[in-house]
Chains A and B, each alone.
Chain A
Amino acid sequence: MRGAPRRGTWRGEPWADRGGVQADTLDLARWQFALTAGGHFLFVSLTIGLATILAVLQTRATLRGARPVHLRMVRFWGQLYVINYAIGIVTGLVMEFQFGMAWAGLGEFGGDVFGASLALETVLAFFVESTFLALWLLGWDRFNKWVHLGVLWVVTLTAYLSAYWILVTNGFLNHPAGHATTSDGTLELADPGALMTNPSTLLAFGHVVAGALLTAALFMAGVSAYHLFRRAGPDEDGFHRRSLRLGVYTALPALFVTVSFGGVQQGRLGEWQPMKLAVLENDTAEIARLQAELAERFGPGDYVPPEALTRGAGMLMMTVFALIMFPLLVSVVLAAFRRAVHGFRAWHVLLMALVPLPYVAMIAGWVFREAGRQPWVIYGLLRTEDAVSDVPTAQMWVSFGVFVPLFALLVVVNWWLLLRWARRGPQAQAPGAEDRIALAGPERREPSWS
């Protein structure tokens, strides 16, 4: 790379003259990123939501007057959280490396701006999150219970921080702000404040974080409903009843916050990405008008995103909202009655059926957001086809052929493990911490904590 081309050129070619990368390379790179990011998103949405509930649960368990059941709840849901977290890390790394491996043009053109938020995410958020998760995992009997609680709160808050910085990056790609164009045509950071307070970022953050909480809350309600449905044992200390109620009572507000942020985002869409809105509303006249307008502004080209996919994803997300809302409204009422919580088996089945729905909505919403901004990778500034790395198609096939099956395997096995642990229930939990407590002797911790 010594004697490499100067900034603003691509392997010696000025930006405008950069020859087209082979179509297969582009398609492979897009599929690979879509599957990686989609898979990652499935895990982090549960992780962020569950971390939040877990932090609240452990706070409750740490307070004066807590009962043993509170601590058991932290243990059981914490177990599921950790199983899920593992794959979040692995998939996240693949995504991070793909920016450079498959989308070098993106870094070359706009890395000055969005690279900053990615760097801050890794160092300020993820590094701390991972280190503190390690402290929390095996810290049960090593730390004072308040310190241990503080450690979990750090994990939770850095998870939010991580989501924020990633959405700073994503918000910039969807609605560029805080940048300036350099003399050689690439972008540079001009106003960090504008980048960090990009409304596209902040609205998406509220939407996604509340969606994550909804995912975790319905997961919790569904798993608890499964155990109450099976009536495997008497729910003596109210473990499942409490978990089910917590899930249901969290899900409803989370749903409304999610939808509110979604509504506000849609309101701004006409201004930020009018084409996406026109496609969602299937307004052919408007689509044609915008296509002509964009072609005049940016030169000839197809400025209409894949219509069926974008519209279908958008409609699916809203349909799922309705499918969740009505059962949830009923559930909030039913959850107030102890007899219903323990004995209304049809309702248990309904709650179990709700578990996958937030995932469907999350993925559909993400497809709507990302597919709907095509052909742009940085809206109005850089086309997706110009962002892909200039690597031979065969190499992209190697990368695709290795990562996609590996990913699929990780996802399937991990879900199998997650469901297996969820099915076993809290009685069968044997986290390492309990062995250690037996070994460490009573003097090393407060009795109420073990």
Chain B
Amino acid sequence: MELTAALLLGLFFAGYFLLGGADIGLGMLLPYLGRDRAERDLVAAGFWPMFLANEVWLVAAAGVFIGCFPHLEGELFSGLLLVLVPVIAGWMIRDAGIWWRRQVPSAGDALIFVGSWLLALGWGWAVASLLSEHHDAPAPFAVGAPTAAAVALLFMTHGMGYAALRLTGRPFQRARMMAGHRAGGNSFALTSVVMAAMPVLAGAGLPLTEHAAGEESLRLLVPVLIAVLPLLIAAQAWLWRTFGGRAEPTDRAYF
């Protein structure tokens, strides 16, 4: 039961890094892929409407964490507070930018760019901390900074592949040049595997099974989670099947 709970936790985090990571990478590249407002409209169209369903994997991951491993969640989140603050602030800023850019385009683009970088660097620092000796303390600068930079690069590469798959026009051409001429498919498949594996590997060293919630809680949670998982994936697959193609400029936003 504890092991299944740990695997579920890993799955939700992997889902977030894979799907949410693509949006983060896209946001990091916004000014590079889109050189003027019209081009940036094309890039921002790539967020819609999937980012809503992508970022929610993190909400679910944190929920599974607190439900199945409440003791560990508290120790880890409070210990890593200084790393998580930029991550969450980055999420808020990035989302605000995505929602508002149709009303205030320049400010919206700046928010998306800054927020995405904060998210990527923050997650990188979190990964460094999890891999170092004391999981529940931020990694020192000498370890944290280079890891954060490397992870940010990975996010960016992932976003580049995503852009080559979803964008149109000039931004698409730029992304395809960077991601390779095979229309991004291959590099995206590769970065997807790496992105999904990253949180799992980073969390593999955590004493999850020793710190799981009590028996009754897991007996309630684990079967429910397993039962609904196919439905969740089916809903997401439906969304991707419907909207996962090239993002047309008119898809850019609801408002």
Contact = CB atoms under 8 A, between A and B. Distances in A.
B85 A398 contact: yes
Interface in A1-47: 1-2, 4, 7
A377 to B, nearest CB: 13
B149 interface: no
B228 interface: yes
A111 interface: yes
Interface string A107-150: 11001110111111111101110111111011100110000000
Contact of A106 (B74, B100, B250): B74
B251 A138 contact: yes
Given A112-B213, A398-B82, A436 B251 contact: yes
B239 A135 contact: yes
B213 A130 contact: no
A294 interface: no
Given A116-B217, A398-B85, A403-B89, A122 B254 contact: no
B131 interface: no
Contacts of B103: 417, 420
Contacts of B228: 123-124
A122 B62 CA distance: 8
Interface string B55-84: 111111011111110111111111101101
Majority secondary structure, A binding face: helix
Given A102-B78, A138-B49, A417 B100 contact: yes
A351 to B, nearest CB: 25
Nearest to A392: B81
A94 interface: yes
A391 B55 CA distance: 28
A1 B78 contact: no
A408 B220 CA distance: 38
Nearest to A191: B216
B207 A1 contact: yes
Nearest to A97: B88
A439 interface: yes
A320 interface: no
Contacts of A100: 62, 65-66, 73-74, 76-78
Given A431-B254, A431-B255, A111 B73 contact: yes
B17 interface: no
By CB atoms of chain A within 10 A, which of B58, B63, B103 has the most?
A: B63
B95 A86 contact: yes
A439 B55 CA distance: 29
Contacts of B40: none
Nearest to B82: A395
Contact of A115 (B66, B96, B135): B66
B172 interface: no
A134 B99 CA distance: 13
Contacts of B188: none
Interface in B35-65: 48-50, 52-53, 55-60, 62-65
B207 to A, nearest CB: 6
Contact of A83 (B53, B79, B255): B255
A332 interface: no
B75 A4 contact: yes
A77 interface: no
B4 interface: no
B3 interface: no
B252 interface: yes
A103 B74 contact: yes
A299 B76 CA distance: 32
Contact of A118 (B63, B79, B134): B63
B216 A189 contact: yes
A79 B63 contact: no
A140 B60 CA distance: 27
A399 B81 contact: yes
A94 B70 CA distance: 17
Contacts, number: 251
Contacts of A439: 248, 250
B251 A189 contact: no
Interface in A392-450: 395-396, 398-399, 402-403, 406, 410, 413, 417, 420-421, 430-433, 435-436, 439
A229 interface: no
Interface string B238-253: 1100110000101111
Contact of B235 (A105, A128, A137): A128
Interface in B192-211: 205-207, 211
Contact of B64 (A1, A113, A123, A432): A123
B93 interface: yes
B232 interface: yes
Given A96-B59, A96-B62, A188 B74 contact: no
B190 interface: no
B146 interface: no
A131 B225 CA distance: 17
Contact of A130 (B53, B78, B89, B99): B53
A123 B239 contact: no
B59 A126 contact: yes
A238 interface: no
A383 B87 CA distance: 30
A395 B84 CA distance: 11
A101 interface: yes
Nearest to B61: A122
B224 A134 contact: no
By CB atoms of chain B within 10 A, which of A97, A106, A121, A128 has the most?
A: A97
A113 B59 contact: no
A413 B96 contact: yes
B140 interface: no
A199 interface: no
25 contacts: A2-B205, A4-B75, A83-B255, A86-B96, A89-B52, A90-B91, A96-B62, A99-B74, A99-B77, A101-B84, A104-B75, A115-B73, A115-B217, A116-B213, A118-B67, A120-B67, A123-B224, A134-B52, A188-B215, A188-B217, A389-B74, A390-B78, A391-B81, A417-B103, A421-B255
Given A123-B225, A399-B85, A433-B254, 7 more contacts: A2-B205, A93-B59, A94-B88, A111-B70, A133-B52, A137-B254, A182-B214
